[in-house]
Amino acid sequence: MNCEECMERVFELIEQEPSDPAGVHEVLERCPECRALFADMKTALEQAAALPLEEPSAGTDEAILRAARARIARGASAKHRWLAAPQWAAAAVALLAIGVGVWTIPRGEEPQFESEVEVEDAVADSVKEELPAAPTRPKGTRYDDSMAEGGSAAIASLGDEPAAAAPPARRRREAKTRPHEAREEEAESDSAEVGALAGAALANDSAVRAEAAPAAASKKQSARGSRLCEERVAKIEGEDRAPTPEESLALGRCYREAGDVPEARRWFEAALLDRDTRARARRELRALPSK
Amino acid sequence: MTDRSDERLLSAYREGDAEAFETLLARYRRPLFNVILRSVRDRGRAEEIYQDVWMKVIERSGDFRGDAKFSTWLYTIARNQCIDHQRKMRFRGHASLEAAQGETGTSLGDRMPNPGPSTETLAAGRLMRERITEAVRQLPEEQREVFLLRQLQGMAFAEIAEVVGIPANTVKSRMRYALERLQRALRDWERSDEL
């Protein structure tokens, strides 16, 4: 190692990050200039340690800690919102399932089904009595035409009530394949009844609604507004970042519009912490109704 | 709590531990504030920037993935804030204390009354501190930032290199030049005292 290299490394030695301490020591022992440089550097560092340190004001530290706690609170409320989300999702799925179920239920048949089965069973019993004993099919023989004819004849002998005599499953099939007009008539009568009931219910409902209309409307509007704000917050959180001061300000305004004063205050206070949005946030906070 | 690493503390804060953040603040408040103060040389502005830096830490705590050390991240934010501030000041045309004024070529800093030792009764320690402060103030910007990060925060050269965005060897050179300048300045004062 030469003196030039030593001068570079002297500093490393003093700063306790030496790359070649043995080489530096060796040069220092034989070179008085390098020793002088080493001494100067050491002195300079010792003197630099006397550099006075100042303290930031306690108020600034308090403001920082307040902001840090506010962020935690904001994070917690967002977490709660997400925790609550599955309940909403479950409720929405349940409603959807009910809706789909109601839509797909065949309304014309269902109410009569139980009584129909009873009637059908009775008719079937009487038919059984009137019918000649059905030929029993020997084991292993095929279901041939004579058997089919016997069955058809028996049905034909029932005269005007083939449908009633048919087994329930077949009746349901027939009901489905009945002429369109007949089914429409049934549907019309059904819907007339349902319509009348629904009309009455609607009349009652609208009377109740008319009384609570103004309060409910404002509540609904406020809830919708809050939901919009929450969606905006969720969107920002979905991007895995904290809201910018401008966004905090905008969210404060959003909640203020929605009538959620505490939430608006919280966002304005967050915007208060940034120099660029501080003045506007302060104005917004002043304009908010007092606690 | 106090023996936990900075990165663990930040992670705990992200999980909602306010005390972890307090510990981090307590660890860094003094060196960070002084690095900023020596960089912008105005207490009011230093307070503002110091607060802004911590606000950024709070806002972006979720972005910190632990790829770098917390101190590197913190001082990178602080450095950027200081640079932004200096840029703004330049843009607004504020008269810098260092900028040469008029035909005399002397800066406002030079022409301001030197508050130096008012009486001989000043303690030697205090005199030395004032001189060191002045010597550091007169360091070129690039040497000063390296010197402050090393001296006030005790950062390793490799870490300073990461914060400043230069090779570690350049950091070492800058530190060496800074110390040589300081040493020269202090020796000059000693000589003037002897005369």
Query: Does residue A254 carry a pLDDT above 60?
Result: yes
Q: What is the pLDDT of residue B101?
A: 40
Average pLDDT on B114-132 reads 64
Mean pLDDT, residues B93-117: 45
Please state, in angstroms and rounded to a whole number, the distance separating the CA atoms of residues A132 and A128.
8
At which residue do the structure tokens 């404002």 appear?
A: A218
- Shortest Cα distance from B103 to chain A (angstroms)? 34
Find the closest chain A residue to B175 by CA distance.
A11
Q: Using the predicted structure, report yes or no on whether residue B152 has a pLDDT greater than 80.
A: yes
As a whole number, mean pLDDT of residues B15-24 equals 93
What tokens appear for A185 in the block?
């008539």
Tell me the torsion sign for CA atoms A131, A133, A135, A137: positive
Residue written as token pair 């290299």 = A5
State residue A258 phi and psi, 5-degree precision: -80, -5
Q: In sequence order, what are the beta bridge partners of A247? A: none
C-alpha A281/C-alpha A3 separation (Å) is: 62
State the pLDDT at residue A101: 78
Q: What 8-state DSSP symbol labels residue B139? A: S
Assess: ipTM above 0.90.
no
Cβ of A15 within 8 Å of Cβ of B157? The answer is yes
| Chain B interface includes A137 (CB < 8 A) | no
B54:A67 CB<8 A: yes
* Binary contact (B16, A75; C-beta < 8 A): yes
Q: What is the DSSP letter of B112?
A: S
Q: Which residues of A touch B182 (CB under 8 A)?
A: 44, 47-48
Average pLDDT over residues B8-26: 93
Query: What pLDDT band is residue A57 in, cutting at 50, 70 and 90?
Result: very high
Of A140 and B75, the one with more pLDDT = B75
Distance from CA of A88 to the nearest CA of B (A): 25
pTM of the model: 0.51
As to burial, measured by CB atoms within 10 angstroms (0-12 exposed, 13-18 middle, 19+ buried), residue A225 is: middle
List of residues 6+ apart from B68 with CB closer than 8 A: B162
Residues B185 and B135: their CA atoms lie apart, in Å, by 6
Query: Where does residue A96 rank: exposed (0-12), middle (13-18), buried (19+ CB within 10 A)?
Result: exposed
| Closest A-chain CA to B29 | A56
pLDDT of residue A88: 65
What pLDDT does A72 receive? Answer: 83
pLDDT higher than 60, residue B107: no
CB pairs under 8 A between A and B: 119
For A43-56, the pLDDT digits (tens) are 888 888 888 889 99
Query: What is the average per-residue pLDDT within B8-34?
Result: 93
Which is more confident, A11 or B162?
A: B162
Q: What pLDDT shows up at residue A33? A: 83
Residue A271 pLDDT > 50, yes or no? yes
Residue with more model confidence, A211 or A72? A72
Option in A61, A240, A274 nearest B55 (CB): A274
Tokens of B108: 């406002």
Between A106 and A264, the higher pLDDT residue: A264
Q: Are B132 and A48 in contact (CB under 8 A)?
A: yes
- Mean pLDDT confidence for A129-140: 46
* CA-based nearest residue in chain B for residue A49: B151
- Number of other residues whose CB lies within 10 A of the CB of residue B142: 15
3-state secondary structure chain A: CCHHHHHHHHHHHHCCCCCCHHHHHHHHHHCHHHHHHHHHHHHHHHHHCCCCCCCCCHHHHHHHHHHHHHHHHHHHHHHHHHHHHHHHHHHHHHHHHHHHHHHHCCCCCHHHHHHHHHHHHHHHHHHHHHCCCCCCCCCCCCCCHHHHHHHHHHHHCCCCCHHHHCCHHHHHHHHHHCCHHHHHHHHHHHHHHHHHHHHHHHHHHHHHHHHHHHHHHHHHHHHHHHHHHHHHHHHHHHCCCCCCHHHHHHHHHHHHHHCCHHHHHHHHHHHHCCHHHHHHHHHHHHHCCCC
Span A59-105, pLDDT tens digits:
999 999 999 998 887 765 555 555 555 566 677 878 888 888 777 76
| Best of B25, B32, B51 to mutate (most A CBs within 10 Å, chain A) | B51
Backbone phi, then psi, for A64, in 5-degree steps? -65, -45
Cβ of A16 under 8 Å from any chain B Cβ?
Answer: no
In the predicted structure, residue A249 carries a pLDDT above the cut 70: yes
pLDDT in tens, A164-199: 444 444 444 444 444 444 444 444 444 444 444 444
More confident position, B78 or A219: B78
Give, in order, the Cα–Cα distances in Å from A71 to each of A8, A76, A235, B41.
Answer: 47, 9, 17, 31
A50 closest CB neighbour out of B18, B63, B132: B132
Contact B46, B33 (CB under 8 A): yes
Interface test with A, best of B14, B169, B182 (most A CBs within 10 A): B182
Residues of B in contact with A15 (CB under 8 A): 150, 157, 175
Q: What is the pLDDT of residue B119?
A: 55
* A41 to B54: CB separation less than 8 angstroms, yes or no: no
**pLDDT surpasses 90 at A288:** no
Q: Between these two residues, B26 and A100, which has the higher pLDDT value?
A: B26
Q: Pick from B128, B151, B156: which is nearest to A17 by CB?
A: B156
- Does B37 or A16 have the greater pLDDT score? B37
Flag whether pLDDT at A148 surpasses 80: no
The mean pLDDT value for A201-224 works out to 55
Q: Is A142 on the interface with B (CB under 8 A)?
A: no
% of residues, chain B, pLDDT over 70: 80
